[in-house]
Amino acid sequence: MAPPLLRLDHISLTFGGTPLLTDAALSVSSGDRIALVGRNGSGKSTLLKIAAGLVEPTDGEIFKHPSATIRYLPQSPDLDGFENVRAYVEAGLGPLDDVHRVSYMLDHLGLSGEEKPDQLSGGEARRAALARVIAPAPDILLLDEPTNHLDLTTIEWLEGELKTIRSSIVLISHDRRFLENVSQSTIWLDRGQTKRLGKGFAFFEEWRDKLLEEEEIEQQKLGRQIVREEHWLRYGVTARRKRNVRRLDELQKLRQKYKSYRGPQGNAVMELSDSQESGKLVIEAKNISKAYGEQVLVDHFSTRIHRGDRVGLVGPNGIGKTTLLSMLSGVLIPDSGTVKLGVNLEIATLDQKRSLDENETLAHYLTDGRGDSVIVNGEQRHVVSYMKDFLFSPEQARTPIKELSGGERARLMLARVLSRPANLLILDEPTNDLDMETLDLLQELVSNFPGTVLLVSHDRDFLDRTVTSIIAPEGNGRWLEYAGGYSDMIAQRKGREIEQKNVAKSSSPQTSAPAERAKRETKQKLSYKQKYALEKLPSEIDALHDEIAKMEKEFSDPDLYTKNAKRFEELSRLLEQKRKDLEIKENEWLELEMLKEELEK
C-alpha cells in the first residue's frame, strides 16, 4: 500500500457543547478515490476543512507530505475581488501549473471566463470553483458537494474527468449515482467517529446496516449484563465485601456506558397532508410555446398528464425546464397553445430558489405566524412536535433561519410544503442539500403519493426510483416525453439513434452502393505508412508491457516513498504516462487490424 500523502488521526473538535468530532481519522494515499459519507450535521464538511488546513481541531494528529498540493472545493465558493471568472480560476494555479488547463476546464464547464463574479448564478459559481481546483491537477482534491446546482450533462462530464486525472480525491456528495461511479473506498462519519470500508459507495449501505445491527446487539448484551450485576449485588455473598465494592464500581461504569450510548440519528418522518382526489386528467397541454427574444425555450410541446403520473423534467441549466414546469402548472402563460388544468387541484410547490426570510424563526415560518400549531391531515399539532418529525430539536423553534445549514433549510422547506393539503406536487430540485437518509424518505413519499407529481431534478438515481416518465429537451425548443426513468430514457434514445442510422442506410442503397464499390476498388490495400505501423506496433506494445512491469515492481516496494520520495513521485508520473501510451498504441493496432481484415474481405 502506498504511503499516505495526508493523514488525520484521532481528530476531535468541540464547539462549546456536544463534541462534533471525537475520534475521526482520514488517510489519503496516491490514487485514492474516497467517498466521505454521513448524516447532515455529522461533521463531514468540518473534517474536510480540517484536512484542507482551514479549521484547527481541538485535538489529534495531522500529517501532510511537504510536497503534496491540496485544493479544496467549498460548498459556497467566494469569487469576491476578482475581475472575472478567468482571473479567479488562474489565481488557483501554482508556479509550475499549465495555464492552458484553465481554458480547457472553462470550455468544458460552459464558461467563457469573461463572466463577472457578481452576475453568476449558483450553478455558474460552482462550475468556476470546480475549474479553479481541478485545473492545477493537485495531488489531493477535497470536494464538498461538487454536483450541487450542476446539470446532468456537466455531472456526467465531471465523472469522466475525475476518473482520468491523477489527483487523489476525497468527495462529499448526496448524489448516489455520482458516488458509485467515482469512489473506490468509503469513509463513514457517524457520531463523531469514522469507519472505513475498502470498497466504493455501491457497497456502503449494506455494510452500514450490518454494523448498526451488530451495535444494537452489543447494546442489548450490555443491558442484560447490567441486570445480572444488579442481581448479584442484591443477592450475592455479602461476606466478600471488597469484591462487592469492586463489582459495584464496575457496575457504575457499565451503567455510565449504557447511559451515554448515542444511537444513530433518527430518520425524518415525512407524511403528506391528505387532500381530495383530483380529476382523472390533471394537465393537458396542446402545442405550447415560449420564447424570450430569439431564444426559443419551448416549441409546440403537447402532453397529457393523468392522476397518479410522476413526471420528471431533465436537461442542462438554462434549457427551459423551470419555464416548461411553470407553464404546465398554470403559473406562466404560453406565447401560443393552451394548458388546461383538471378539476379539484390542490397544488403544493417547492421552489428552486427557496427564498427565505433570514430573520424569521422556524416556528413562525411553519405556522405562517398563526400561533404555535400547524394543521396536518386535518389534525392540529404543536409546531415543536411537527418539527421533531423533520429532525429539528425543540430548542430550534425560536432559532432564526439564517443559522440553519443548507440541509436543514431544505428539510424546513419540505416540512412546510408537506403540511399543506395537496394532490399535485411540484418539486423543483427537491434533492439539493438533503442527506441520503432524508432522500430515501422523500423518494418513498414521491413513489407512494396517490396524487400527481411534477419534478425537476439532476439526480439520476432519484429519477430512476420515482418517476413514471421523463420529459427531455431535443434541441431548438423541442421536448419529448419518454416512458420510465432516466436510465430508460437513455436506452430509448440510443435505440432511436441506431434505428435512424439503419433507416438512413437502407433508404438509399442504389445511390450509395456504386460509391462504396468505387471506394473499395480504389483502396484495395493499406498505405505504406499503415503497413509500417502495423509491423512496428506489436514490438512497441511488448516493450511498453516490459517497461510497465519493471516500474510496477519498483513501485510496489513499500519503503520506496520513505527512501526516495522524489523517485516515488517521478515513477508515479512515468507509470501513468506509459499506461496511456500503451492504451493508445493498442487501440491504433486494433483499428489497423480491423481495416486490414475489411480490405481483405
**Residue 156 domain-assigned (yes or no):** yes
DSSP tally for the chain: helices H, then strands E: 19, 20
555-592 pLDDT, tens per residue? 777 677 677 777 877 887 787 788 788 878 877 877 77
What is the residue whose three cell numbers read 413526471? 311
285-303 burial code (b ≥16 CB/10 A, e <16)? beebbbbeeeebbbbebeb
> Residue 506's pLDDT is what?
66
Tell me the pLDDT band of 127, cut-offs 50, 70 and 90: very high
Query: In terms of domains, do 156 and 46 share one?
Result: yes
532-544 pLDDT, tens per residue? 777 888 888 888 8
- For residues 491 and 489, give the distance between their C-alpha atoms in angstroms, rounded to a whole number: 5
- The backbone torsions φ and ψ at residue 135, rounded to the nearest 5 degrees and listed phi first, read -55, -40
**Residue 536 domain-assigned (yes or no):** yes
Tell me the residue type at 102: V
CB 374 within 8 A of CB 386: yes
pTM (2 decimals)? 0.69
Closest C-alpha among 152, 192, 190, 173 to residue 34: 173
> Residue 494's pLDDT is what?
83
- For residues 316 and 78, give the distance between their C-alpha atoms in angstroms, rounded to a whole number: 24
- For residues 553 and 563, give the distance between their C-alpha atoms in angstroms, rounded to a whole number: 16
Higher pLDDT, 517 or 330: 330
Q: Could you give the angle at the alpha carbon of 347 between the alpha carbons of 345 and 350, nearest 5°?
A: 165
Query: In terms of domains, do 417 and 467 share one?
Result: yes
Q: 441 by DSSP, 3-state: which?
A: helix
**Residue 389 domain-assigned (yes or no):** yes
> Residue 149's pLDDT is what?
81
Query: In terms of domains, do 384 and 297 share one?
Result: yes
- For residues 575 and 571, give the distance between their C-alpha atoms in angstroms, rounded to a whole number: 6
What is the residue whose three cell numbers read 392540529? 380
- For residues 148 and 156, give the distance between their C-alpha atoms in angstroms, rounded to a whole number: 13
Tell me the pLDDT band of 107, cut-offs 50, 70 and 90: very high
> Residue 189's pLDDT is what?
94
Query: In terms of domains, do 128 and 195 share one?
Result: yes
377-426 pLDDT, tens per residue? 778 888 888 888 887 888 888 888 888 877 778 788 888 888 888 889 99
Tell me the pLDDT band of 435, cut-offs 50, 70 and 90: confident
- For residues 130 and 125, give the distance between their C-alpha atoms in angstroms, rounded to a whole number: 9
> Residue 261's pLDDT is what?
56
Quote the longest CA-to-CA distance of the chain: 111
Q: What is the 3-state secondary structure (H, E, C) of 357-392?
A: CCCCEHHHHHHCCCCCEEEECCEEEEHHHHHHHCCC
Query: In terms of domains, do 540 and 577 share one?
Result: yes
Minimum mean pLDDT among 5-14, 298-307, 344-353: which range? 344-353
Query: In terms of domains, do 482 and 545 share one?
Result: no
16-68 pLDDT, tens per residue? 667 889 999 999 999 999 999 998 778 899 999 999 999 999 999 999 999 99
228-282 pLDDT, tens per residue? 666 666 555 544 444 455 656 666 666 666 555 565 555 556 565 556 677 889 9
Closest C-alpha among 276, 282, 268, 275 to residue 454: 282
> Quick one: cell of 117?
463574479
**Residue 237 domain-assigned (yes or no):** yes
> Residue 584's pLDDT is what?
82
- The backbone torsions φ and ψ at residue 181, rounded to the nearest 5 degrees and listed phi first, read -80, -25
Query: In terms of domains, do 195 and 322 share one?
Result: no
Query: In terms of domains, do 481 and 559 share one?
Result: no
> Residue 537's pLDDT is what?
84
**Residue 273 domain-assigned (yes or no):** no
Number of structural domains in the chain: 4
Query: In terms of domains, do 254 and 105 share one?
Result: no
Q: What is the CATH number of the domain that holds 574?
A: 1.10.287
Residue at which a domain ends, from 178, 206, 234:
206
The per-residue pLDDT of the chain, averaged, comes to 84
Indicate whether 476 pLDDT > 60.
yes
The domain containing residue 383 runs over which residues? 281-488
Q: Which of 6-20, 334-348, 558-572 has the highest mean pLDDT?
A: 334-348
Higher pLDDT, 276 or 215: 215
- For residues 289 and 304, give the distance between their C-alpha atoms in angstroms, rounded to a whole number: 16
**Residue 22 domain-assigned (yes or no):** yes
**Residue 213 domain-assigned (yes or no):** no
> Residue 245's pLDDT is what?
59
Query: In terms of domains, do 344 and 392 share one?
Result: yes
- For residues 450 and 421, give the distance between their C-alpha atoms in angstroms, rounded to a whole number: 12
Query: In terms of domains, do 114 and 245 share one?
Result: no
Tell me the pLDDT band of 523, cut-offs 50, 70 and 90: very low
List of E strands, 106-149: 140-144
Q: What is the CATH number of the domain that holds 17?
A: 3.40.50.300
- For residues 504 and 113, give the distance between their C-alpha atoms in angstroms, rounded to a whole number: 41
Query: In terms of domains, do 248 and 307 share one?
Result: no
**Residue 505 domain-assigned (yes or no):** no
